[in-house]
Amino acid sequence: MREIIRVRPVSYHADGGNIGYIRISSFNEQTTDELKKAIVDISKQIPSENLAGYVIDLRNNPGGLLDQAVSVSRTFMARGEIVSTRGRRPEETQRFAARGGDLTKGKPLIVLINGGSASASEIVAGALHDHNRATLVGTRSFGKGSVQTIIPLGSGNGAMRLTTARYYTPSGRSIQALGISPDIVVPQEQAKVLDASKQDNQQTSESQLKGILSNDSMTDAEKKQYIAEQKAAADEAKLRGSDFQLAYAVDLLKGLAVANATATAPAPTSAPAADAAPAPAN
């Protein structure tokens, strides 16, 4: 007997110490439960005050179950319509809405999409986009926005598939054949990344000069931080070479984190004005 192998629909990791990366590869019965586990686990790895946000990767996700697309959207949305299905008659319209449970607590979201993102993936991307809950990065999605019903034939030897309705995003846009357009178009191009030796030939830092005065005052903690920063820089260079779209999304989240920190930082106190000098006597 052949063994049934179940492919996990969600994979994740903490990227760079302050970004949660979640890849959703399909929408099956386990997707929402796996997604919630991923968010909880990432929140344990990264304290809330350090968490810059999440990258939700829906690239090359062909879709799946409608109810899972709705429940995944509810995981990131507190309120609002998620999707509607509309048939030929008004009474056939169905609407699905969020129920007030944003598990990410409003943290910034970057959603990656491409031409392989279809159906349920487009429902999630469209809902998060229309409610300004996420920034979409990548290329236009596939455009599979039709609801199909399978009707068995009377002979029992076959069935007929009919398109009975279409999916619409909260703003009223049809997904069918149009797809979802990203906010920021980023083609997946292979970036040319120099290896460490070539980088050394291109750029020279103070520490690489001969006879340089060494920094004997560095503590063990500072040395550890320096090594960690060097490793992070190398990892980012590799990421740009292997996945330019993801690297862009990570940079975007980091930029948002810096902007938010700057906006909320207290204004520096100005020094008291010096007393005016007395006017010279005539």
Same domain, 32 and 102: yes
Which range among 17-31, 122-136, 223-237, 267-281 shows the weakest confidence by mean pLDDT? 267-281
Considering the chain, what is the average pLDDT of its residues? 85
Residue 262 belongs to a domain: no
Q: Letter for the amino acid at 242?
A: S
- The fraction of the chain above a pLDDT of 70, given in percent, is 77
- Cβ 199 vs Cβ 241: under 8 Å: no
Provide the H-helix boundaries in the chain. 31-45, 66-76, 120-130, 196-202, 220-242, 244-264
Question: Which pLDDT value is given to residue 75?
Answer: 98
CA–centroid distance for 147 within its chain:
27
- Cβ 95 vs Cβ 81: under 8 Å: yes
Question: Which pLDDT value is given to residue 210?
Answer: 52
Q: Which residue shows structure tokens 């959603």? A: 111
Same domain, 178 and 200: no
Where does the pLDDT of residue 237 fall: very low under 50, low under 70, confident under 90, or very high at 90 and above? low
Question: Which pLDDT value is given to residue 80?
Answer: 97
Where does the pLDDT of residue 236 fall: very low under 50, low under 70, confident under 90, or very high at 90 and above? low
Q: Of the residues 15, 57, 130, 243, which is catalytic?
A: 130
Q: Letter for the amino acid at 159?
A: A
Residue 266 belongs to a domain: no
Question: Which pLDDT value is given to residue 2?
Answer: 66
- The mean pLDDT of 30-50, rounded to a whole number, is 97
Q: Of the residues 25, 117, 119, 121, which is catalytic?
A: 119
Same domain, 156 and 73: yes
What span, in angstroms and rounded, lies between the C-alpha atoms of 245 and 110?
11
Residue 56 belongs to a domain: yes
pLDDT at 184 over 80: yes
DSSP SS3 for 206: helix
Segments forming the whole domain that contains residue 131: 10-185
Which of 163, 185, 207 delimits the end of a domain? Answer: 185
Same domain, 92 and 228: no
Question: Which pLDDT value is given to residue 197?
Answer: 40
Name the residue with higher pLDDT: 212 or 89.
89
pLDDT at 276 over 90: no
What does the pLDDT look like over 91-111, one tens digit per residue? 989 999 998 789 999 999 999
pLDDT at 196 over 60: no
Residue 139 belongs to a domain: yes
Q: Letter for the amino acid at 179?
A: G
Same domain, 80 and 178: yes
Question: Which pLDDT value is given to residue 232?
Answer: 62
Which of 139, 159, 185 delimits the end of a domain? Answer: 185
Question: Which pLDDT value is given to residue 193?
Answer: 47
Question: Which pLDDT value is given to residue 151?
Answer: 84
Where does the pLDDT of residue 163 fall: very low under 50, low under 70, confident under 90, or very high at 90 and above? confident
Same domain, 36 and 141: yes
CATH number of the domain encompassing residue 62: 3.90.226.10
Residue 190 belongs to a domain: no
Residue 231 belongs to a domain: yes
Same domain, 180 and 200: no
Tokens coding 3: 């063994």
Q: 19-24 and 53-57 as β-strands: parallel, antiparallel, unpaired? A: parallel
275 included as an active-site residue: no
Name the residue with higher pLDDT: 146 or 148.
146
57 included as an active-site residue: no
119 included as an active-site residue: yes
Dihedral sign for Cα 41, 46, 48, 54, please: negative
Q: What length is written for the chain? A: 282
Q: Which residue shows structure tokens 């846009």? A: 173
Residue 263 belongs to a domain: no
Same domain, 203 and 245: yes
Residue 279 belongs to a domain: no
Q: Of the residues 15, 57, 144, 243, which is catalytic?
A: 144
Same domain, 62 and 171: yes
Same domain, 130 and 224: no
Same domain, 177 and 100: yes
Q: Total domain count for the chain?
A: 2
Same domain, 38 and 150: yes
